[in-house]
């Protein structure tokens, strides 16, 4: 059964999208983080370029229908495994120095 509940469409699948987009944009996440650490208080002004690059990367994924379908398929696979085994699988996160 691949019907999705409201919470799945609006919360769970978008969470997978955010996690995967952060992984796929990790170079930009790291550049922004590094800039903020080096700049401190003036980061709003000095890290504008890194922030824009990060936002553009993330929004590019969030607005891609093919990426949504990929994440939806991943969610449905996880849901199916959970229903079959009763064991919730944790997504592996890419560790970063954030």
Domain boundary assignment for the chain:
6-73
24-78: pLDDT as tens digits: 999 999 999 999 999 888 888 899 999 999 999 999 999 999 999 999 999 999 9
Q: What's residue 83's pLDDT?
A: 86
Between residues 49 and 92, the one the model is more confident about: 49
**CA separation for the pair 23, 29 (Å, rounded):** 9
Q: Global pTM? A: 0.77
pLDDT band at 97 (very low <50, low <70, confident <90, very high): very low
**CA separation for the pair 2, 10 (Å, rounded):** 15
Whether 61 contacts 21, CB under 8 Å: yes
Q: What's residue 91's pLDDT?
A: 59
Q: What is the dihedral of CA 24, 30, 33, 37, to 10 degrees?
A: 170
């Amino acid at each position: 059964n691949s019907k999705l509940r409201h919470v799945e469409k609006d919360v769970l699948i978008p969470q997978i999208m955010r996690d995967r987009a952060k992984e796929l944009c990790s170079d930009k996440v790291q550049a922004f983080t590094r800039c903020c650490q080096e700049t401190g208080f003036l980061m709003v002004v000095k890290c504008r370029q890194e922030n824009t690059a990060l936002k553009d990367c993330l929004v590019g994924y969030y607005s891609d229908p093919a990426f949504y379908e990929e994440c939806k398929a991943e969610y449905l696979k996880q849901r199916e495994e959970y229903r079959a085994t009763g064991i919730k699988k944790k997504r592996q996160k890419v560790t970063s120095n954030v």
